[in-house]
Amino acid sequence: MATLTLASAFWWTINNRLTVTSTAVAPNPIIVIDPGHGGRDPGAVGITGVWEKEVNLAVSLTLSNDLRKHGITVYLTRTTDHTVNRTGPYSVRNDLLARSAFAKQHHATLFVTIHSNIEPTHSMQGPIVYYDSDSSASLQLAVEVSQAIHSLLGYNRPPRPINQLVLEDSKVPAINIEIGFLSHPRDSALLITPSYQYTLSQAIASGLLRYLSQGDYRTG
């Protein structure tokens, strides 16, 4: 009940700002969405006991549905609870490489991996967008998504560079969206609420569409 009350209050706060920018997107873009973790790798565990892998997948599925409504071809590295690398011995590295390989196999225009944060003070909250530190195109993509999140959700955080194997190996503009902090009571409650997952996905989709509308991108 507490979660529903919090979610309802949030929903009414942002309801009048809920729009996805309609932009003219260059033809045939392909976005690969990667729900982080999965299967034997649960990722972080939130203060409510929710597993990161479940939250990542729920938001990724909602985001993919929204992008498809805008005519974007979307592939997900996983649509159920499993690791992505299922052909050899499991390791975190092999699983990450399987995700970037999936993006290459599907000729991705953009690669977006979805994760959830956790930190020990339980004070930080809200999404943060990370980008491949060696890619100016990834930086621009991260800027567009960060600005869209700020516009709709109010979190004003600049994108942050990161050296991350799955981003570096994807060979296309690539970002890691940490969608919130499972260690924060409010974030943890919101991230398991379908209405907030929808709103968050709308913000992310708006930024991705805005980037694609510029037409300056390359496929893998």
What are the tens digits of pLDDT across the range 6-36? 444 444 344 444 444 445 555 689 999 999 9
Residue owning tokens 């919130």: 180
DSSP string, 139-151: HHHHHHHHHHHHH
- Residue 12 to residue 192: CA distance in whole angstroms: 17
Q: What's residue 12's pLDDT?
A: 35
148 to 85, 125, 163: CA distances (angstroms) = 32, 17, 23
Q: What is the mean pLDDT of residues 191-197?
A: 97
DSSP character at residue 217: -
pLDDT band (50, 70, 90) for residue 216? low
Binning pLDDT at 50, 70 and 90, where does residue 86 land? Answer: confident
Q: Answer yes or no: are the C-beta atoms of 217 and 211 closer than 8 Å.
A: yes
pLDDT value, residue 87 = 82
Rounded to 5 degrees, φ, ψ at 214 are -75, -20
The structure tokens listed for 188 are 């943890």
pLDDT (0 to 100) of residue 171: 92
pLDDT value at position 14?
44
pLDDT, position 120 = 93
Answer whether residue 145 shows pLDDT above 90. Answer: yes
Residues 33-51 have a mean pLDDT of: 96
For residue 124, count CB atoms less than 10 angstroms from its CB and return exposed for 0-12, middle for 13-18, buried for 19 or more. middle
The predicted pLDDT at position 89 comes to: 86
Per the CB < 8 A criterion, the answer to whether 162 and 133 are in contact is yes
Going by C-alpha positions, the residue among 95, 131, 138, 117 that lies closest to residue 183 is: 117
Number of H helices, E strands in the chain: 7, 6
Report the relative pairing of strands 30-35 and 110-117 from DSSP bridges.
parallel
Residue 104's pLDDT is what? 97
DSSP state of 176: E
Q: Which CATH number fits domain 2-10+52-133+147-213: 3.40.630.40, 1.25.40.340, 3.30.470.10, 3.40.50.300?
A: 3.40.630.40
Which pLDDT score is estimated for 10? Answer: 42
Collapsing DSSP to helix, strand or coil, 177 comes out as strand
Domain ranges of the chain: 2-10+52-133+147-213
**26 or 47: which leads in pLDDT:** 47
What phi, psi does 27 have (nearest 5°)?
A: -70, 145
Alpha helices in 25-159 (DSSP H): 52-69, 92-105, 136-153
DSSP letters along 21-46, please? ----PPSS-EEEEEE--BTTB---B-
Give the span between the Cα atoms of 176 and 182, in whole angstroms: 16
Which of the 8 DSSP states describes residue 179? E
